[in-house]
Structure 1
Amino acid sequence: MSMKKYLAATAFASALISVAHAQSSVTLYGVLDESLQYTNSEKSNGHAGSAWGLANGANSTTVWGISGNEDLGGGMHAIFKLESQFGISNGSNPFGSDLFGRQSWVGLADDHWGTVTFGKQYTPIVDYLCPLSAYCSFGGNMSAHVYDNDNVGGGYTVSNSVKYESPVIGGWHVGAMYGFSNEAGQFTSNSLLSVGAGYDNGPFHVAAAYMDATNPASGPNASGGAVGSNMAILPAANQRVLGAGASFDIGKGAVGLLYTHSTYLSLATGGSSFSDISGEDLRFDNYSVYGHYPLGGAFSLGAGYTLTNEHLSGSTAATLHNQQITIDADYHLSKRTTLYAEAAYQHVSGGNGLSLAYADIITAANASATSSQTEVSVGIRHSF
């Protein structure tokens, strides 16, 4: 082979490799969040008082993951995502031996027909309602609704699930998910159904979503079904969530409203801190409003308010009112690194000494010793 032919062949082979590489991609990504945190009141191991310490994920959950996309031609792509969660403070994995306990799915995406994925995934409740909440707008974990009772903050993902997301048509898009129990003879035990719909028109966004889980994280298939026993905060014989919200973009900022209704039928709390309400029915109505706006330069501010009415029925009937205010200030050192200061105040009225009557900001290590709790975190968030 002459040198000219060799160079031509080499150039052609290099071009083919470049095209193949351009059509496929694998990305390593992650978010690291660590802060110095002060909580004015906590109770733990028979002690009560204020607490100082390092806190992981006060604003953003600390995760790392791998995602991939292969162009199959004709507008079709093969896609996947593997995502793990861990704590920076001690390197621990909250899901134990489940390496990718946050997300692990594979599927096909078509530009004309939509996307179908299989595995462990977020529900349409998260996909459609979280973008309309303070959680996804600015506040992260510290702004989640009490106990993340509606799963808007993505408190758990769904295993053994099939999920469909439509393309956007005239501003509208819809999604649906079914999580299988994977239990012989127990098709509905620890299964989950969820649907959502959204509409976007310029700066205006609106969405609604629904979820119905049967025996999540409980029953004969507590760990092998749709929701693992290490995921649910309040296991019950049945959990339902219904919500709707809207947001409006103002320049680079946004304001939003969100309402969700969560129902837990026949709580299966066992020896947890909520054992005093085991077997009861519990309903949450969450009313939220937020605003987030960049002040120019590297600064941005956000504030949110949530009123949660908790209705406990059964032998122990009670109505509680939980109010929380969250304020956040960010200073962006770069596109990937941010310094933040975030504070939350929560107050509960009613409950007559029940476990629900103690304030419990979701990022606090423990519930308050009183009906009020204040938490302040100053930290750094880095994404890659």
Structure 2
Amino acid sequence: METKLEKKWTRAACAAALAIASTHANAQSSVTIFGLLDVGVTYISNMGGHSALQFKDGQNSPNIWGISGTEDLGNGWKTIFMLRDQIVIGTGSILAGQDLWSKTAYVGMTNDRYGSVTLGEQYDFMRDMVADSPAEISGHLYMYPGGMFTGLAIPGNPSGSFDWSRLTGTPIANSVRYESPRFGGFHFGAMYGFGNVAGSIGAGNASSFFTSYQRGTFSADAAYTTTKHLGTMGGPDVTIRNAAVGSRYTWGPVFMTALITTVRNVANGAAAAAYSTGAMYHLTPIWSFGLSYMYQKGNGQLENQHSNEVAGIADYALSKRTSVYAIGAWQRANDGAHANINGLLGPTAASSGPNQALFRIGLHTRF
């Protein structure tokens, strides 16, 4: 529950945002308020041995609102900034455990010829891999890798394995990020997050790298991220390594994509990989249908657990900004394991057996 101070700061931030957005911006600069909102009802077949019908928001996309802006400095240079946060529509609060602008807070410079540099709290390049990924065209949050491998024991993670791929966006604080312009279809980036630990430059730091290639309707990219988490209660530091390779292709009204993601906890040796593919068919400008498949596999440290999952979506556009949709997902884990579709959090989220299914009807809009 929000405290009075948190509510006061939230109201003040909203008022400031509206005031900024309402001021006149000349042809060389602009300030924009933007957001994504998603609400719906989800039926889960098995959570701890019981079915459940829940109001859940932020499943098709996170509930985001933010402010972005740019100022033309001349000679091709621009100042850019973004402030972005995640909210919970069901309670009208900021996402639990998060501070204001906890998702993104950066300022930087950009130039069409030299690229861009941004500084602050911002997503690493694993987040860039999610664009048009198999998860994004069908099950959304339910189809991101994660859920069953709690033995990964990722620090600061709600279940130890929720979104272990970092695809949904886990920001890195105190970071500097560079992205190049495109060179004949190629594009690359590098990022470094400072640990800010006295006496040790490498403690608590993070690094991320990205490269992509695009030609016509085909594109492919790869990303690698290392994050170092300081040990708690005198324990050892924990290093998590993530990597991903993906591709996508458009063939008329059909869009196809594939993605491989991996994770490794260097401290305990636990590692997992996910292999996913999917397709989206735009039947008309109003109707679209998506289907995807994902296979997850853990190593011996994770008892060789594995699962197969399929998901599908039917989306009907009410306007350019708003749509209604239906999502279905089913996961089958190996015998002896407990299915746990990503996005279902809490002590009783996992199924009591190897199967778990869900069905969701929702409304999604953006501004």
Decide: shared fold, TM above 0.5.
yes
Alignment of 1:193-342 (within 5 A): 193-215=207-229, 218-219=230-231, 237-266=238-267, 280-313=268-301, 318-342=303-327
Could you say what the CA RMSD is over the residues aligned between the two structures, in angstroms? 2.1
Contact 2:138 2:292 in 1 (8 A): no
- Match in the other structure for 1:378: 361
- Match in the other structure for 1:276: none
- Cα 1:24/1:168, change in 2 over 3 Å: same
In the aligned structure 1, how far is the partner of 2:289 from the partner of 2:28? 39
Deviation at 1:205, TM superposition (A): 0.3
Counterpart of 1:38, as a letter, is: Y
Q: TM-score, normalised by structure 1?
A: 0.80
* Structure 2 residue matching 1:370: 3-state secondary structure: coil
* Structure 2 residue matching 1:124: 3-state secondary structure: coil
- Match in the other structure for 1:131: 131
- Match in the other structure for 1:21: 26
Deviation at 1:186, TM superposition (A): 3.2
In the aligned structure 1, how far is the partner of 2:263 from the partner of 2:285? 40
Contact 1:361 1:373 in 2 (8 A): yes
In the aligned structure 2, how far is the partner of 1:309 from the partner of 1:177? 29
In the aligned structure 1, how far is the partner of 2:326 from the partner of 2:200? 48
Deviation at 1:207, TM superposition (A): 0.6
In the aligned structure 2, how far is the partner of 1:184 from the partner of 1:349? 46
In the aligned structure 1, how far is the partner of 2:270 from the partner of 2:360? 31
Alignment of 1:137-176 (within 5 A): 137-146=137-146, 147-154=162-169, 156-176=170-190
Q: Which moved more, 1:171-180 or 1:90-99?
A: 90-99
Deviation at 1:86, TM superposition (A): 0.9
Gaps of 5+ in 1: 1-16, 223-234, 267-279
CA-to-aligned-CA distance 1:156-215 (integer Å, 9 cap, x gap): 111111000000110000011111111212322221111010000000001111111122
Deviation at 1:221, TM superposition (A): 11
Counterpart of 1:340, as a letter, is: Y
- Match in the other structure for 2:195: 181
In the aligned structure 2, how far is the partner of 1:68 from the partner of 1:368? 45
Say whether 1:362 aligns with 2:347: no
How many pairs align?
A: 326
- Match in the other structure for 1:7: none
CA-to-aligned-CA distance 1:43-69 (integer Å, 9 cap, x gap): 2xxxx4011110011211101000001
Deviation at 1:41, TM superposition (A): 0.8
In the aligned structure 1, how far is the partner of 2:202 from the partner of 2:253? 44
Gaps of 5+ in 2: 1-22, 147-161
* Structure 2 residue matching 1:254: 3-state secondary structure: strand
Q: Which moved more, 1:200-209 or 1:238-247?
A: 238-247
- Percent identity between the two aligned chains: 34
Contact 1:39 1:364 in 2 (8 A): no
- Cα 1:236/1:341, change in 2 over 3 Å: farther
Contact 2:137 2:292 in 1 (8 A): no
Alignment of 1:76-91 (within 5 A): 76-91=77-92
- Match in the other structure for 1:42: 47
In the aligned structure 2, how far is the partner of 1:312 from the partner of 1:152? 24
In the aligned structure 2, how far is the partner of 1:116 from the partner of 1:333? 38
Deviation at 1:241, TM superposition (A): 1.3
* Structure 2 residue matching 1:50: 3-state secondary structure: strand
Contact 1:183 1:221 in 2 (8 A): no
Q: Which has the higher contact order (CA 8 A, sep 6+)?
A: 2
Deviation at 1:295, TM superposition (A): 0.8
In the aligned structure 2, how far is the partner of 1:139 from the partner of 1:259? 17
In the aligned structure 1, how far is the partner of 2:71 from the partner of 2:352? 53
Deviation at 1:125, TM superposition (A): 1.5
Pick aligned residue for 2:35 from 22, 30, 36: 30
* Structure 2 residue matching 1:142: 3-state secondary structure: helix
Counterpart of 2:185, as a letter, is: G
Contact 2:134 2:259 in 1 (8 A): no
In the aligned structure 2, how far is the partner of 1:102 from the partner of 1:221? 27
* Structure 2 residue matching 1:141: 3-state secondary structure: helix
In the aligned structure 1, how far is the partner of 2:324 from the partner of 2:132? 24
CA-to-aligned-CA distance 1:299-342 (integer Å, 9 cap, x gap): 100011010111142xxx61111111110110000011110100
Counterpart of 1:245, as a letter, is: G
Q: Which moved more, 1:192-201 or 1:84-93?
A: 84-93
* Structure 1 residue matching 2:140: 3-state secondary structure: helix
- Cα 1:237/1:58, change in 2 over 3 Å: same
* Structure 1 residue matching 2:136: 3-state secondary structure: helix
CA-to-aligned-CA distance 1:98-124 (integer Å, 9 cap, x gap): 111111111000111000000111111
